[in-house]
Amino acid sequence: MFERYTEKARRVIHWGRYEAGQVGSECIDTEHILLGLLQEDSVLVRRFLPTDRILESVRQQIEAVKTRREKLVGRVDLRLSDESKRALAWAAEETQHMNNEHLGTEHLLWTCCAKKTAWLQPCYVSADCRSDQSATS
């Protein structure tokens, strides 16, 4: 599934898995992918979501609405939630639409902004997602 992903985009998924494990989630939800994106490519994210402490702000807002369970210890394989699968499919569609060979973090961020999915909702509260700019410009 991740063959066309750039190394950075793969690390976003890795960070998402890590974030899910930190809160004891049974699967990798879109908010975990968002946290992974904020962790892996903060330069790109800050270009479109300009705020000084966006990672901390988003993390606090997500933790305020999500139930925190016991942290998962060790290497645990977590599945992607249905919403995460849809978001990644949208990013893949955008990659094809732009005639790009690889899916990168810019496509993941575009999905957050353009589709206005729940996984970026905390950012809408703390910053204006400027989807009028192209993530690849």
Expressed in percent and rounded to 5, the helix, strand and coil fractions of the chain are 60, 5, 35
Of the pLDDT bands very low, low, confident and very high (cuts 50, 70, 90), residue 85 is very high
This prediction's pTM: 0.76
Residue with tokens 């005639």: 99
Closest residue by Cα to residue 37 from 47, 27, 25, 24: 47
Contact at 8 Å (CB) between 78 and 21?
A: yes
Of the pLDDT bands very low, low, confident and very high (cuts 50, 70, 90), residue 135 is very low
Of the pLDDT bands very low, low, confident and very high (cuts 50, 70, 90), residue 54 is low
Superfamily the domain 7-126 falls into: Clp, N-terminal domain (1.10.1780.10)
Of the pLDDT bands very low, low, confident and very high (cuts 50, 70, 90), residue 53 is low
Angle made by CA atoms 77, 82, 87, in degrees to the nearest 5: 100
- Asked whether the predicted pLDDT for residue 127 surpasses 60, the reply is no
